Amino acid sequence: MASSTLSIRPRPRTRRSSVRRGRPASGGIKSWSRADGDIGYAIRFRDQHGERQRIRCGLRSEGWSEERAQILLDYFLDQVQRGTYEPPPEEPLDERGGDPFFGEFATDYLMKHGITVSPNTQAFYSNMLRNHLLPEFENARLSEIVRERIGEFRRRRIELMHHIRVANDRGIVLRQSDNRPLKLSEKTINHSIDVLHLVLAEACRRDSIAISKNHAHDPQLHVTVPKKTVRDWLEGDEVQLLFEVAHNADAGVHTRTIAKAAEIRRLREEVGLTVVETARALRISRSTIWYLEDAARRARPRVSQTRTIVALLSASGARNTEICLLRPIDLDFVHHKIRVSRSKTRKGVREIDMTPWAEEQLRAWVDALGDAYELEAPLFLNRRGRSFNKDTLNNLLQRVQKAALDELRRRRLPPLTVHVTAHVFRRTYIAHMLEAGAPLSYVQEQVGHEDSRTTIEIYDRILRTRDRRQHGAAFDTIMRGTPSVRASQETPGGVATS
């Protein structure tokens, strides 16, 4: 019988103590081969008291794998880290009967159910279970999870969501234990209740568990999700504004700083004032003038990466992950193509035609890379020198939107009503390309939609907005025409002509 061990982290020898301190929990996965060719899996780790724990997972023929065993190991290591781990009962969960605890039952069921779903859905189940449901229901019996307790869970999550939003409005970022920003929305609360419903529904189907009603099966438990804005795409002038202010995100300079520096430059170059006279006119110190001029110089890079990203998003319709995975080798300037070789769908692997504007920006950015140019390296890197992911890319776009809002406020214009994300640029590309007269099949091929209905739905929504403007213009024409007709029927003295 051959055996092999996959070590997750190095495990130095230490003396046994009552409580483990100052060292992250670690463990490993053990696999073995059976005479019939099947492979078994088990996990080993030390609990918070330093005791060795070994839990048999199952056989490959039963659906187990190293990936699935790793998920179970990570779950128990998280409990060890929090000091809440308790050894599981020896008898199998299904054979024990009675009224099991939610934490044990939900973990076991979602692990088995996760084999039949995609990796993204597996990660979704793990997130909902670990970060939302277990802190509330882990040690509760399934029969104790009634509607009143679920309603109390819902109420506390709503309070936490509002608390996070109030803190964000005040510029305070609340963080989790691993230092990640704490986030919670109406959709997340509803998702957690949906997963709770999924687990309780499985409990109701099992004859060995005395649960007759799924109390999470109640639409009234869902939180009302705020409606999206009327428009989820950008007008041409809004795209141009975002492009103009995008370079501010590269230097991290506030729009008001740039505007103030422009005023200083005007007074010194056009009016001819000295530094002292300029400082007196603007009521600031001379050191502030030098600081503002230096900040303005830093805010004007020769080629802006963020500007290039905004231009590429708005003129290609590429998905956010496709932008993050883009490499110089994917840019074919000879045939004016952008090759998308890695995408979320089969239809997404495609070639996108470069518009002249996008090609101009991409050429400038590739030329600016200089010695950093590598065919297989990521085309765009964040401030830490790492490739973007969908979250960091959208965070970058949020900084661009903030700069645009500052600029609109300076111009005394209404703010943007669209929450700027990479997907908003994707819908914008579809809208403007169809409005420019491109065939529907061409636009569908460019954006990589598997179903043309998605493209049609976006275009129909945009057409309805355009129609409303035409109706309003026609109404104004009628209203403006009515007084002129009446005036033509009257004499200068106010007497109607015959």
| Domain boundaries along the sequence of the chain | 1-87, 102-226
Predicted local confidence at residue 310, as pLDDT: 93
**Nearest CA-CA partner of 224 in 267, 186, 268, 183:** 186
| Dihedral sign from CA coordinates of 486, 491, 493, 498 | negative
Q: Which residues fall within 8 angstroms of residue 278, CB to CB, at 6 or more apart? A: 264, 267, 268, 289
Q: Cβ distance 216 to 196 under 8 Å? A: yes
- Identify the weakest region by mean pLDDT among 91-105, 116-130, 321-335: 91-105
- Phi, psi of 352, deg, nearest 5: -105, 130
Residue 466 pLDDT class (50, 70, 90 cuts): low
- Per-residue pLDDT for 11 more than 50? no
Please give the Cα distance from 451 to 335 (Å, whole number).
Answer: 27
3-state secondary structure of 209: strand
- Mean of pLDDT values over 8-24: 44
- Per-residue pLDDT for 10 more than 70? no
Please give the Cα distance from 8 to 257 (Å, whole number).
Answer: 50
Q: Which residue has the higher pLDDT, 229 or 257?
A: 257
Q: Which residues fall within 8 angstroms of residue 145, CB to CB, at 6 or more apart? A: 102, 137, 196, 200, 215, 216
**pLDDT tens, residue by residue, 294-313:** 766 655 556 788 999 999 99
**Nearest CA-CA partner of 317 in 170, 135, 444:** 444
Maximum average pLDDT range among 5-19, 34-48, 161-175, 454-468: 161-175
- Mean of pLDDT values over 39-61: 83
- Per-residue pLDDT for 362 more than 50? yes
Task: State the Cα angle at 283 between 282 and 284, rounded to 5°.
Answer: 95
Please give the Cα distance from 33 to 11 (Å, whole number).
Answer: 24
- Per-residue pLDDT for 457 more than 80? no
* Contacts for 337-341: CB closer than 8 Å, 24+ residues apart: 340/448
3-state secondary structure of 338: strand
Residue with the two structure tokens 């990570």? 74
Predicted local confidence at residue 156, as pLDDT: 92
- Per-residue pLDDT for 14 more than 60? no
- Identify the weakest region by mean pLDDT among 49-63, 246-260, 316-330, 389-403: 246-260
3-state secondary structure of 163: helix
Tell me the longest C-alpha to C-alpha distance in the chain: 115
- Give the bridge partners for 292, in sequence order: none
Residue with the two structure tokens 């932008």? 323
Residue 245 pLDDT class (50, 70, 90 cuts): confident
Residue with the two structure tokens 């109706």? 471
Residue 253 Cα distances to 171, 188, 263, 310, 487, angstroms: 18, 34, 16, 18, 57
Predicted local confidence at residue 88, as pLDDT: 62
Predicted local confidence at residue 192, as pLDDT: 94
**pLDDT tens, residue by residue, 161-209:** 999 988 888 888 888 777 888 889 999 999 999 999 999 988 888 877 7
- Phi, psi of 320, deg, nearest 5: -65, -40
Q: Cβ distance 80 to 46 under 8 Å? A: yes
Q: Cβ distance 299 to 348 under 8 Å? A: no
Please give the Cα distance from 159 to 155 (Å, whole number).
Answer: 6
Q: Which residue has the higher pLDDT, 395 or 4?
A: 395
Number of helical H runs and strand E runs in the chain: 19, 7
Q: Cβ distance 346 to 450 under 8 Å? A: yes
Report which DSSP code applies to 332.
Answer: E
Predicted local confidence at residue 213, as pLDDT: 86
Task: State the Cα angle at 422 between 418 and 424, rounded to 5°.
Answer: 35
- Per-residue pLDDT for 138 more than 70? yes
Percent of the chain whose pLDDT exceeds 90: 20
- The two beta strands, 39-46 and 52-59, are antiparallel
Report which DSSP code applies to 118.
Answer: -
Residues listed for the chain? 498
The hierarchical CATH code for the domain 102-226 is: 1.10.150
Q: Cβ distance 200 to 150 under 8 Å? A: no
Task: State the Cα angle at 111 between 105 and 112, rounded to 5°.
Answer: 95
E strand or H helix at 31, and its extent? strand 27-33
Percent of the chain whose pLDDT exceeds 70: 80
Q: Cβ distance 301 to 355 under 8 Å? A: no
- Mean of pLDDT values over 306-328: 91
Full strand arrangement of the beta sheet holding 52-59: 3-7, 27-33, 39-46, 52-59
- Per-residue pLDDT for 475 more than 60? yes
